[in-house]
Amino acid sequence: MKLVTDRTTISKIVKQHRQNHESIGFVPTMGYLHEGHLALVEKAKEQNDIVIMSIFVNPTQFGPNEDFDSYPRDLAHDQRLAEAAGVDYIFAPSVEEMYPNKMNNQITVVERAGVLCGRSRPGHFDGVVTILLKLFSLIMPERAYFGKKDAQQIAVIDGLVQDFFLPIQIIAVETNRELDGLAKSSRNVFLSDSERVEAKELYKSLTKAKTAINSGEKSKKRIIEMVIDHLQLNTSGEIDYVEIYSYPSLKALDVIEGKVIIAIAVKFSKARLIDNLILDVR
């Protein structure tokens, strides 16, 4: 495995593999790798000749009061895990490498961004699509891999690929979970011991909703109330949102039918956790 930190070198590497007619799978991350990231690598290795992982904590997707400076970073740890998983190249540029000058253009996400996490994080998805467009332009992958835990992000990226005719297939990989159901996340390290015990209730609340829907309950209002009641009874966290939308369009609905997402966010003392289930309700 090779570590690359500059744009010129990664572009030369990509060009060589393309000349050899080798397919490239791309796994964009912000580092501090865990098994969820490695599941993306595993899928990428199955479907491509070469796997490139980026490790970059992108400042443009963090708000002024968010955790950019405290976001966990450990490149040596990430290199060990990535190499063991079979990653061929890590692209780990500096902020100056990815944003060498003041931007002449700005991308604004106008659909799929104003709900769920996007409602309380204005500009967040503008930063996400900006860095991904830069990375896609450098790495030119056939396929890019994202975890379904960040389902709104996938919906926004799907819109980016559609709008700009990007020749990239977006692969959504099932959420990787702990044995008790908690979605694996770099932010889980910020949970206290008691909060970690409570955190499993996020997924339990979603599976409870799924069971009710499969049993015939189609009222969005009643399902949301059920999830809120479960979270309030079983966690000390502050509920940020419990919402249900069509997916991936993220449009409002009253009756649960078709492909939908049930999404939740809960704030604990030092960590904000998100989770979701995507259901096809017929």
| 178 inside domain | no
CATH number of the domain within which 148 lies:
3.40.50.620
89: helix, strand or coil: strand
- Same structural domain, 191 and 161: no
CB 116 within 8 A of CB 250: yes
Residues 237 and 267 in one domain: yes
Binding region for ATP: 30-37, 147-150, 184-187
Instruction: Work out the average pLDDT over 83-107.
Output: 97
242 phi and psi angles, rounded to 5 deg: -135, 115
DSSP string, 147-193: EGGGHHHHHHHHHHHHHTT---EEEEEPPPB-TTSPBP-GGGGGS-H
Looking up tokens 């098994």, which residue turns up? Answer: 35
Residues annotated in a binding site: 30-37, 61, 147-150, 153, 184-187
pLDDT value of residue 65 = 80
Answer whether 113's CB lies under 8 Å from 125's CB.
Answer: yes
Q: Is 269 inside a domain boundary?
A: yes
**How far from the centroid of its chain's Cα atoms is residue 273's Cα?**
12
Q: Known binding site for (R)-pantoate: residues?
A: 61, 153
Cβ atoms within 10 A of the Cβ of 121, count?
A: 15
pTM of the predicted structure, to 2 decimals: 0.92
The model's confidence at residue 164, banded by pLDDT at 50, 70 and 90, is: very high
Whether residues 130 and 7 fall in one domain? yes
Q: What is the pLDDT of residues 189-215, one digit of tens each?
A: 999 999 999 999 999 999 999 999 999
Do 200 and 250 belong to one domain? yes
Judge contact between 119 and 240, C-beta under 8 A.
Answer: no
Tell me the mean pLDDT in the region 167-178.
96
Q: How confident is the model at residue 282 (pLDDT cuts 50, 70, 90)?
A: confident
CA 110, 203, 173: angle at the middle one, nearest 5?
A: 60
Residues 48/24, Cβ–Cβ less than 8 Å: yes
Binding site residue list for beta-alanine:
61
Could you tell me if 197 and 168 lie in one domain?
no
Judgement on whether residues 149 and 194 belong to the same structural domain of the protein: no
User: Is residue 281 in some structural domain?
Assistant: no
Q: Which residues participate in catalysis according to the annotation? A: 37
Q: Is residue 219 part of a domain?
A: yes
Which CATH number goes with the domain that contains 267? 3.30.1300.10
DSSP reduced 3-state for 281: strand
| Host H or E run for residue 83 | helix 75-85
Residue 102 shares a structural domain with residue 164? yes
Number of domains in the chain: 2
Q: Say whether both 20 and 115 belong to one domain.
A: yes
pLDDT tens string 243-274: 999 999 999 998 999 999 999 999 999 999 99
Answer whether residue 255 is part of any domain.
Answer: yes
Last residue of a domain, one of 143, 173, 203: 173
Tell me if 282 is assigned to some domain: no
Residue 149 lies in a domain: yes
- Total length of the chain: 282
Domain of 260 in residue numbering reads as: 186-276
